[in-house]
Structure 1
Amino acid sequence: MIGTDVVRRNENFLQVVRSYYQLTKPRIIPLLLITTAASMWIASEGEVDSFRLFITLLGGTLAAASAQVMNCIYDRDIDYEMLRTRARPIPSGRVQSRHALIFALVLAVISFSLFLVYINLLSGLLAMSGIAFYMLVYTHFLKRNTPQNIVIGGAAGSIPPLVGWAAVTGDLSWAPWILFAIIFLWTPPHFWALALMIKDDYAQVNVPMMPVIEGEESTVRQIWWYTLLVIPCTFLLVYPVGASGWLYGVMALFLGAIFIKKTWLLKQNPLDKDMAKSLFKFSILYLMLLCTAMVVDSLPFTHQLFTAMVNFVG
């Protein structure tokens, strides 16, 4: 493999810490934690135990970090070939693959131990299944072999809400699976918008992302259809499940309308990378605000306010 391990040393301790921190791809993790937290708030009906929340988010952070480090090890060859990623810790030689693997395993062990000791076995097993699915199914089998890689592989990023729900209740009901479905259907529009922006990079290293194999127009059509699927799915939390209420429903409608508009504009201009970038950025904001609405909607204060408003009008 190209760029397996380049011999180069960090200059000081802080640079070593920074290199290992970069291996975890920290910018990806907050979005996973937001979906975990939202699930916990809904499951606890707005009254989350702070210690349980802290341990669950810490364990989730370590599990996600472990998966990203393993991904960096596996993809070190294509990271070396792309100028955009050649400066990453492993292809640049600042971290050796064997050391990165030890780091990833330590993170996974600590994560599972935290869940097992302080939360419950189910949440720990779900967190570990996220790592396994991301590495074995997405990174190993799908990423380099099929343009549908992110569709199936998106299940890995959909697991955090299951972890959060299990951490509160010890089991899984319909609501966390709807949260799973929302993120699963949200992932293709989100990731393919990014893929449209960096299509040439994927083509350079022969990674069969959708825009590379089927072109921009086909990719944008599929982004459109997945957007039309995810928006109705968000309302299932309101009806028939009843896990969220009116405030979340209004926010889901508002955000969904903007999402559809941005996707429609991209559909009319599939070669416009600025529109793809706009959709990509909004997709992140969409999920963050949607989860925030879930949290606020679950709070007892919100329910009391709604009841007071109904009584006042009545």
Structure 2
Amino acid sequence: MHAWNGHGADRSNALGQVLVFFLLPISWLFAGLVAIRRRLYQHGFYKQTTLPVPVIVVGNVMVGGVGKTPITMALVNHLKAQGLRVGVLSRGYGRKTSSTLAVSPKSQLQNVGDEPLLIARSCQVPVFVGNSRVDAGRALLSLHRDVQVLVCDDGLQHWPLARDLELCVFDERGVGNGHLLPAGPLRETWPRQALSPNVPCWVLRTSGEAGPNEFAVQRHLADYALQADGTQRSFSSWWDTPVQALAGIAKPEVFFAMLREQGMNVAHTQALPDHADLQALHIDTSQGDVLCTEKDAVKLWAHHPQAWAVPLHTTLPPELLAAIDAHLAAVQHAKLSSPHGHQTA
């Protein structure tokens, strides 16, 4: 049996390598187009828009989820604790609209997307979504003139928006096979070629071993869960009771494993696609109470207010936060000193 499994794995790897070989020409073409676009920005054929406040972009070069939004939220909460007034920009992946919109805790999910809605509810800061992050930033700043720094959730490759700092997030996959789409998982070449040498790009690692010059992000589940009305319940009250868990995130099994590590008796699980529409989801209450991620809860609570959301605590390393604070202070000083510091274009 083990020998058969081994041969099956070898066969699968061989087929994968053959597929990569045939897709490589398309990847090289894609890499060339990315390089041309980068040069057009570098030589001024395409313009970047500089907003009057510092902009931090939290993004990735890998396809799929790597944990950007929890990092964005942790960063926003840190900046707020430093006394800064923060705004957040996002494309609003999965929304049914295309216009630039303000996001409030009471926004309709289909209009703004699940992650912007989660940020608005959890961080209590101004959030705007827009296909153009430049338009979203201008709209946010026009309504919230006291905002001092903007954090962009995703958008590393959204070059029309000038930025002052980039945080590139990786998980345990690293750069995969190192090839660009479609032969590999990369959206652009790595190491990254920044548009401006004055804009640092710092690497964060959400899982796996952090390498040299990388920052390790710590993540763990809270030991409690929340319902839509704010009711809080500790995990210890479930330890003798089977529960069910669902997750519509990039890696649902990670969430399920974290619950079990906390001592939860997870008897049934539902692994759903990232950003899955949960409106028609069937939940069998006989399987026990439902535990889900906070991102799933903003979609579930409209139809299943009895679901329990488990917060994910994300801790950014002190040395990263100190470096961000120092860089922001320098950027803010430069923008205030510039004669064009209050221009939005």
Question: Which interval holds the TM-score relative to the shorter structure?
Answer: under 0.3
Task: Give the alignment's TM-score, normalised by structure 2.
Answer: 0.25
Which structure dedicates a bigger proportion of its chain to helix? Answer: 1
Which structure dedicates a bigger proportion of its chain to strand? Answer: 2
Larger radius of gyration: 2
Task: Give the alignment's TM-score, normalised by structure 1.
Answer: 0.27
